[in-house]
Amino acid sequence: MSKELEITKLRQQLEAALLASGRPVYIEELVKILKAKPKDIRNEIEHLKKIYSENSALELVEFEDSYMLRIKPDLVAIAKKFSEKPFLSKSVAKTLSIIAYYGPLSIKELKEKRGNVVYSHIKILEKFRLIKKQDLGTKKVYSVTDDFFKLFNVPQNKEELRKALFRNLQQLEERPKLP
């Protein structure tokens, strides 16, 4: 890999780490996780500072020996209007998972698995274009859309999707629980 590609990869990894953390991240953490030299990390952080100082809603903030990528203070109020509610509640996400895993499913089958809440869940999921209704003669069935696969970055092949969902579930169960 060329030096230029290595630098670009490191910059992208730094950006992803700082954005995902939601907190100040220490150089030592970055060195350990990204397996990079402190000098290279500091150089790329300086480069990112320049990028975010111009025409961006984000800013890179330096603390004593840590850095944080955050929304600029004058834009926080507008950002909060979009971030206060989760995209999907756990209950709606569970209904979506059932449709993805077992689908296509009729409303009757969904109701047997989830109860009467499916009616409101279907409205929400259709609004976000994550499920679609298909007419199969006298029966209407629900299945996930291509937007579902793009949004959640999961395979479209049913067997691969099931494996991915199972792996994700295992990873969630292996995570240490918060007190």
In this predicted model, what pLDDT tens digit does every residue of 147-172 receive, in sequence order? 888 888 888 887 887 787 777 666 65
In this predicted model, what pLDDT tens digit does every residue of 22-75 receive, in sequence order? Answer: 899 999 999 999 999 999 999 999 999 888 887 899 999 888 888 999 999 899
Q: How far apart are CA 169 and CA 167, in angstroms?
A: 5
| Whole-structure pTM value | 0.60
Task: For the domain covering 3-79, report its CATH number.
Answer: 1.10.10.10
Give the domain 90-174 fold: Arc Repressor Mutant, subunit A (1.10.10)
Q: How far apart are CA 22 and CA 176, in angstroms?
A: 19
Those residues whose C-beta lies under 8 Å from the C-beta of residue 87, and which sit 6 or more positions away, are 128
Domain boundaries, the chain: 3-79, 90-174
Chain centroid to CA 110: 26
Query: Is residue 117 within 8 Å of residue 91, measured between CB atoms?
Result: yes
Is the predicted pLDDT of residue 175 greater than 60, yes or no? no
